[in-house]
């Protein structure tokens, strides 16, 4: 028993001795690793301080200068931080390149409080010249872009890989994040005019960024990355005439899905109606537009970045509201509106556009007009407007393939009228040629009184509109139309403004005359005559809009049908 106990004690003592030796070795190794890590961290930090500036100078041909306060590398944790970073342009070099016609059209500069890199593989970078990291985060970044259309760059364009390949074999970053970014974009036009756009609190997330000899040819990547995601909470811009705010909210872009989403697009008047009228002094439409939940699919980023063209397959607007107000008691502006039809304005857009299909759903459209005689406002209302626009473009090559911009629309007119219409705009046609076909069915004519009473001084006492069908062709000078209106039981009251009360009251004798002699109370008439179809031509007032021409031409057909021959009202 004593022998066994003695043996156990000897073995235990020997084990403790071995463990002590092992712990000493491990401790020594840890000290060596930590010491080496600390040494290499310090050594490589110093090396990085000079290399980063040299890289920037070499890759940009001395155009850019990189500044920072402190570089700290910890190879044990794989972290790298760079404090107070800024990239600026050497203006002397830039002006020299301009003189040689080698200056780039786009200049970049940025600053950040800190750049933090995690899972940085220092050994791979310093030994294999491969820059690899798990993530890169810029804290409080600020980016300035300046595009100068006057610059002529005759130098050969180099890819990102060609720029880095002299120093680094490849660059790989799992995630690049720029949150709450301030972005300023300045566009210098050829006439030296400036367009400045500023975005605040922009978020940019880049996933799986890889720059090497083959990444640019990878079809699953866009600008060397698997995906770019951009988020912008809000952007506000005041129009040139200072009458409106242009506002977009909750903007997000996903490059992998090629989708752009806007929570809302808004054209917001800066003044209430009375103040707006005082500002403009002359007759002019006032717009108030809200379009919600806009989805742009298959947006082509290369066309936008390289050719400054907006290409998309599908745009969808979930719902919205468009209000138009016009005060005819103001003096006419005298402005000639030739060349301002919708498709003509599309042709004049500064940016080339192609949208295969644009769909608007559940949009409410209203047009309100003040009559200077009655000083009252009449409002046309279109509810539940649904429209499909096809081939929306101003690009010559696309127009050569298909010159028809077609819009199919349906809506509820006023309260119950079921309205359908097709607009066919001829793109590239110098005089704004167009064609429209449409139909309005099953409407109580009394619902027109909120429009006819203030604007035409006529009250519809009764009328049942069974069918209004029309076909119209025209251009910026005139329009012709065939109008077929089937209705019955039409009775009206002619109104006048009372000078004392300023209220509208009925002209009894004139109303009696109108109902008895001047108007046709039905079409077809009760005597069994055929349905009357009006064939009208209307010459456009060049100071009036496209929709005024459409309405006046259509109204001329309705008037010809409803008013007896040889009677003028």
Report pLDDT digits (tens) over 303-341.
Answer: 776 667 889 999 999 999 999 999 999 999 888 888 989
Give the count of beta carbons closer than 10 Å to the beta carbon of residue 557. 23
- Cα–Cα distances in angstroms (integers) from residue 383 to residues 315, 319, 388, 415, 518, in the given order: 21, 11, 16, 8, 33
For residue 424, what are the contacts with CB-CB under 8 A and spacing of at least 6?
404, 405, 406, 434, 435, 436
What is the pLDDT confidence band of residue 344, given thresholds at 50, 70 and 90?
Answer: very high
CA-CA-CA-CA dihedral for 129, 135, 136, 140, to nearest 10: -170
Q: Does residue 267 surpass a pLDDT of 80?
A: yes
Q: Are 466 and 443 in contact (CB under 8 A)?
A: no
Measured between alpha carbons, how far is 64 from 174 in angstroms, rounded to an integer?
26
Confidence at residue 2, expressed as pLDDT on a 0 to 100 scale = 53
Confidence at residue 456, expressed as pLDDT on a 0 to 100 scale = 83
Confidence at residue 15, expressed as pLDDT on a 0 to 100 scale = 53
Estimate the share of the chain in helix, then strand, then coil, as percent rounded to the nearest 5. Answer: 25, 50, 25
Residue by residue, DSSP assigns 27-43 as HHHHHHHHHHHHHHHHH
Confidence at residue 39, expressed as pLDDT on a 0 to 100 scale = 35
Q: 445-455: buried (b, 16+ CB within 10 Å) or exposed (e) per residue?
A: bbbbbbbbbbb
What is the pLDDT confidence band of residue 8, given thresholds at 50, 70 and 90?
Answer: very low
Q: Does residue 28 surpass a pLDDT of 50?
A: no
Kind and range of the H or E run holding 272: none
Confidence at residue 156, expressed as pLDDT on a 0 to 100 scale = 82
Beta-bridged to residue 118, according to DSSP, are 135
Closest CA to 370 of 474, 471, 267, 276: 276
Q: Does residue 528 surpass a pLDDT of 60?
A: yes
Kind and range of the H or E run holding 428: none
- Cα–Cα distances in angstroms (integers) from residue 154 to residues 90, 108, 158, 189, 350, in the given order: 20, 19, 12, 19, 25
Measured between alpha carbons, how far is 273 from 187 in angstroms, rounded to an integer?
34
Measured between alpha carbons, how far is 514 from 123 in angstroms, rounded to an integer?
97
Q: Are 281 and 326 in contact (CB under 8 A)?
A: no
Domain positions in the chain? 36-214
Measured between alpha carbons, how far is 231 from 255 in angstroms, rounded to an integer?
12
What is the pLDDT confidence band of residue 485, given thresholds at 50, 70 and 90?
Answer: very high
- Cα–Cα distances in angstroms (integers) from residue 70 to residues 74, 80, 118, in the given order: 13, 11, 17
Confidence at residue 7, expressed as pLDDT on a 0 to 100 scale = 53
- Cα–Cα distances in angstroms (integers) from residue 254 to residues 22, 199, 311, in the given order: 55, 18, 15
The proportion of the chain whose per-residue pLDDT surpasses 90, expressed as a percent, equals: 44
Q: Cα 68 to chain center, whole Å? A: 37
| Residue that the structure tokens 């995690």 belong to | 118
| Residue that the structure tokens 């978020």 belong to | 203
Lowest mean pLDDT among 13-27, 242-256, 347-361, 367-381: 13-27
Query: What phi, psi does 307 have (nearest 5°)?
Result: -115, 0
Query: What phi, psi does 306 have (nearest 5°)?
Result: -95, -30
- Enter the pTM of the model: 0.82
Measured between alpha carbons, how far is 179 from 205 in angstroms, rounded to an integer?
8
Confidence at residue 349, expressed as pLDDT on a 0 to 100 scale = 87
Residue by residue, DSSP assigns 102-135 as B--SEEEEEEEEEEEEES--HHHHHHH-EEEEEE
Lowest mean pLDDT among 42-56, 186-200, 326-340, 429-443: 42-56
Beta-bridged to residue 421, according to DSSP, are 409, 438
Measured between alpha carbons, how far is 536 from 539 in angstroms, rounded to an integer?
10
Residue by residue, DSSP assigns 440-460 as EEEEEGGGGHHHHHHHHSEEE
Q: Does residue 471 surpass a pLDDT of 80?
A: yes
Retrieve residue 151's tokens. 């610059």
């Amino acid at each position: 028993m004593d022998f066994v106990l003695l043996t156990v004690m000897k073995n235990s003592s020997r084990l403790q001795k071995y463990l002590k030796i092992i712990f000493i070795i491990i401790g020594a190794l840890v000290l060596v690793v930590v010491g080496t890590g600390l040494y290499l961290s310090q050594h490589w930090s110093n090396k990085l301080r000079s290399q980063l500036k040299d890289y920037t100078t070499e890759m940009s041909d001395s155009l850019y200068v990189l500044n920072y306060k402190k570089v700290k590398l910890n190879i044990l944790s794989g972290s790298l931080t760079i404090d107070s970073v800024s990239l600026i342009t050497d203006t002397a070099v830039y002006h020299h390149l301009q003189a040689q016609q080698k200056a780039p059209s786009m200049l970049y500069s940025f600053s950040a409080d800190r750049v933090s890199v995690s899972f940085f593989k220092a050994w791979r970078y310093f030994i294999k010249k491969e820059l690899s990291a798990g993530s890169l985060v810029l804290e409080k970044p600020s980016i300035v872009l300046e595009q100068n259309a006057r610059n002529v760059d005759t130098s050969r364009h180099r890819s990102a890989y060609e720029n880095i390949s002299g120093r680094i074999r490849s660059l790989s970053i799992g995630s690049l994040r720029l949150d709450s970014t301030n972005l300023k974009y300045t566009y210098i036009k050829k006439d030296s005019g400036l367009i400045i756009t500023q975005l605040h609190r922009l978020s940019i997330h880049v996933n799986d960024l890889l720059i090497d000899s083959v990444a640019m040819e990878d079809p699953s990547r866009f600008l060397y990355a698997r995906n770019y995601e951009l988020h912008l909470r809000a952007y506000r811009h005041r129009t040139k005439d200072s009458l409106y705010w242009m506002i977009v909210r909750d903007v997000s872009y996903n490059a992998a899905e090629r989708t752009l989403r806007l929570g809302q697009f808004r054209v917001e008047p800066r003044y209430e109606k009375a103040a707006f009228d005082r500002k403009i002094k002359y007759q002019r439409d006032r717009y108030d537009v809200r379009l919600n939940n806009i989805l742009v699919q298959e947006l082509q980023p290369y066309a936008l970045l390289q050719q400054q063209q907006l290409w998309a397959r599908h745009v969808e607007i979930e719902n919205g509201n468009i209000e138009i107000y016009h005060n005819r008691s103001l003096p006419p502006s005298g402005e000639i509106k030739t060349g301002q039809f919708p498709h003509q304005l599309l042709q004049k857009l500064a940016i080339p556009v192609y949208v295969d299909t644009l769909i608007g759903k559940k949009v409410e459209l209203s047009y309100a007009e003040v009559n200077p005689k009655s000083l009252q406002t009449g409002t046309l209302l279109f509810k539940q407007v649904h429209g499909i626009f096809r081939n929306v473009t101003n690009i010559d090559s696309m127009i050569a393939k298909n010159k028809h911009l077609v819009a199919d629309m349906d809506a509820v007119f006023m309260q119950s009228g079921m309205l359908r219409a097709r607009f066919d705009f001829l793109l590239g046609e110098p005089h704004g040629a167009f064609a429209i076909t449409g139909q309005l069915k099953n409407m109580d004519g009394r619902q027109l009184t909120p429009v006819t009473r203030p604007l035409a001084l006529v009250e519809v006492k009764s009328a049942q509109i069974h069918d209004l069908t029309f076909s119209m062709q025209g251009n910026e000078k005139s329009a012709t139309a065939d109008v077929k209106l089937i209705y019955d039981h039409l009775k009206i009251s002619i109104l006048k403004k009372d000078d004392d009360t300023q209220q509208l009251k009925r002209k009894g004798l004139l109303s009696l005359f109108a109902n008895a002699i001047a108007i046709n109370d039905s079409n077809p008439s009760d005597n069994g005559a055929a349905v009357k179809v009006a064939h009208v031509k209307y010459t456009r007032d060049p100071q009036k809009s496209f929709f005024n021409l459409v309405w006046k031409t259509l109204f001329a057909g309705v008037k010809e049908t409803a008013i007896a021959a040889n009677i003028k009202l």
